Amino acid sequence: MKKVYGSAAEALDGVTQDGMLIAAGGFGLCGIPELLIDALVASGVKDLTVASNNAGVDGFGLGKLLETKQIKKMMSSYVGENAEFMRQYLSGELELEFNPQGTLAERMRAGGCGIPGFYTKTGVGTVIAEGKEHKEFGGETYILEEGIFADLSIVKAWKADDTGNLVFRKTARNFNPPAAMCGRICIAEVEEIVPRGALDPDKIHLPGIYVHRIVQGDHEKRIEQRTVRKREDA
């Protein structure tokens, strides 16, 4: 069982094809698989559908895959902060499927758990519910949402061991575990690969069974909104 690869490009070798569905972790620019996104740009794979809460910003994260027009469709909850995204969307070049954030997360989790559909109250009475099955449980109305079964998952973690056990850091965990779970193949990029046994088994956030390939590298980890208190005010 060899899971550790030398680079993001090597980790992607043999698992990409045009038209595939990719689930990506991250929230805003926090905890995004920036190395694998760069490698996808370099690979030239196209007509991608990408399930990701956000679409990056101009010039960083998924914004790079949008600039090269490799993405055909996005499944997201919030796509502000990206001018190129809006240009492509308004001109009809890019499809967009809005998902409420929790519905998107649960669709990924469900897919990873072998659950093809679930009922939720989220979106009942809104445009999100149009065309979806409605069903009453205990006098309340719910809509049917479908699990996401991705061809490939790309996620970012803090640390991994060589068996793919992952540990995330603070709010950089976000969509990464559910995104990882729903892919037929999952590639995780991490800041550090540690020796087997160095991670406390009680503190593994995502067991290595979900992770097929691992790559270590340096991350820019860009901050989207730098908000601070002045030291003299503290």
Partner 1 sequence: MPWDRNQMAARAADELEDGMYVNLGIGIPTLVANYVGDKDITLQSENGMLGMGPFPLEGDEDPDLINAGKQTITELARTSYFDSAQSFGMIRGGKIAAAILGAMEVAENGDLANWMIPGKLVKGMGGAMDLVAGVGRVVVVMDHTNKHGDSKVLKACTLPLTGAGVVDRIITNLGVLDVVEGGLKIVELAEGVSEDEMRAATEATLV
Piece in contact with partner 1 (CB under 8 A), picked from 144-152, 167-175, 195-203, 209-217: 167-175
Q: Which of 6, 200, 201, 228 binds partner 1 (CB under 8 A)?
A: 228
Q: Which of 9, 128, 144, 194 binds partner 1 (CB under 8 A)?
A: 128
Looking at the Cβ atoms of 68 and 171, the one nearer to partner 1 is: 171
- d(C-alpha 168, C-alpha 189), whole Å: 11
**HSE-up of residue 72 (Cα within 13 Å, Cβ side):** 10
Looking at the Cβ atoms of 42 and 223, the one nearer to partner 1 is: 223
Site membership for partner 1, residue 108 (CB under 8 A): yes
Q: Which of 100, 144, 162, 217 binds partner 1 (CB under 8 A)?
A: 100
Piece in contact with partner 1 (CB under 8 A), picked from 5-13, 63-71, 196-204, 223-231: 223-231
- d(C-alpha 195, C-alpha 218), whole Å: 18
Q: Which of 86, 144, 185, 194 binds partner 1 (CB under 8 A)?
A: 86
Q: How far is the CB of 105 from partner 1 (least distance, A)?
A: 4
Task: Enter the tokens of residue 38.
Answer: 């760069």
Q: How far is the CB of 104 from partner 1 (least distance, A)?
A: 8
- Backbone φ and ψ of 155, nearest 5°: -135, 165
- d(C-alpha 14, C-alpha 173), whole Å: 27
Site membership for partner 1, residue 121 (CB under 8 A): yes
Q: Which of 52, 53, 70, 216 binds partner 1 (CB under 8 A)?
A: 53
Cβ-Cβ contacts under 8 Å for 7 (sequence gap 6 or more):
39, 215, 217
Looking at the Cβ atoms of 45 and 158, the one nearer to partner 1 is: 158
| CB 99 within 8 Å of CB 77 | yes
- d(C-alpha 86, C-alpha 107), whole Å: 25
Site membership for partner 1, residue 102 (CB under 8 A): yes
Site membership for partner 1, residue 17 (CB under 8 A): no
- d(C-alpha 34, C-alpha 36), whole Å: 6
Dmax (CA) for the chain in angstroms is 57
- d(C-alpha 159, C-alpha 114), whole Å: 27
Task: Enter the tokens of residue 194.
Answer: 């540690």
Q: How far is the CB of 82 from partner 1 (least distance, A)?
A: 9
Residue 201 identity (one-letter amino acid): P
Residues near partner 1 (CB under 8 A): 27-31, 53, 76-80, 86, 98, 100-106, 108-109, 120-128, 158, 168-178, 205, 221-231, 234
